[in-house]
Amino acid sequence: MLVRVIAAAAVLVSAAVHLRLWFDGFSDDHVVGPAFMLNAIGGVVIAALLLVWRHWVPLFLAFGFGFTTLGAFVIASTVGLFGAHESWTGAYVWAAAIAEAVAIVASGLGLMRDPLFSRSELQHRMAVRRPNLH
C-alpha cells in the first residue's frame, strides 16, 4: 500500500506542476497547452485509481505517466518537442522531474510486488494453460 501512496503523491505533484504551468502561459500553445491540461487531469485520475482500486492497472498507468512525461521533457530539453525547447532550470522543472522519477520507481516496485506478476503466479498460470502431454 505504501508504494501506491508514494506513486499517487508523485503523480499528483507532477499533475499540479503541469496545471500551474498551463495557467502560467502554456495554455496558449496549441499543442503543448492541451497536453499539459491532459497531463493534469490524467494525473489526478491515476492518483485516485492508485488509492481506491487494488489492481495492477493503476500501477501500470502511473508507470506510463511518469515515463512518458519525463521522457517528453527530456526530448524537449535536448532536441525540442513540437517547437518547445526547454531547459533544466527552475523549481517547477525539478519538482516535476523528481516526482516523475519517483512515480516510475514506486509504481515499478508495486508492479513487481503484484501477485499477477510474481514468478510463482506466472509459472502457475503457464502450467494451467499448458496441456499435460504425459
Amino acid (1-letter code) at residue 117? F
pLDDT, tens digit (0-9, with 9 covering 90-100), for 85-101: 776 778 888 999 999 99
Cα distances (angstroms) measured from residue 127 to each of 1, 56, 131, 134: 29, 22, 8, 13
pLDDT exceeds cutoff 70 at 134: no
Name every residue whose Cβ is closer than 8 Å to that of residue 127 and which is 6 or more positions away in sequence: none
Query: What is the number of other CB atoms lying within 10 angstroms of the CB of residue 90?
Result: 11
pLDDT at residue number 79: 85
- 84: phi then psi, degrees, rounded to nearest 5: -95, 130
pTM value is 0.81
pLDDT, tens digit (0-9, with 9 covering 90-100), for 24-62: 987 887 788 899 899 999 999 999 999 999 999 999 999
Q: Where are the domains of the chain?
A: 2-129
> CA Rg, the chain, in Å?
18
Question: Which one, of 117, 125, 122, 123, lies nearest residue 60 by Cα?
Answer: 117
pLDDT at residue number 78: 85
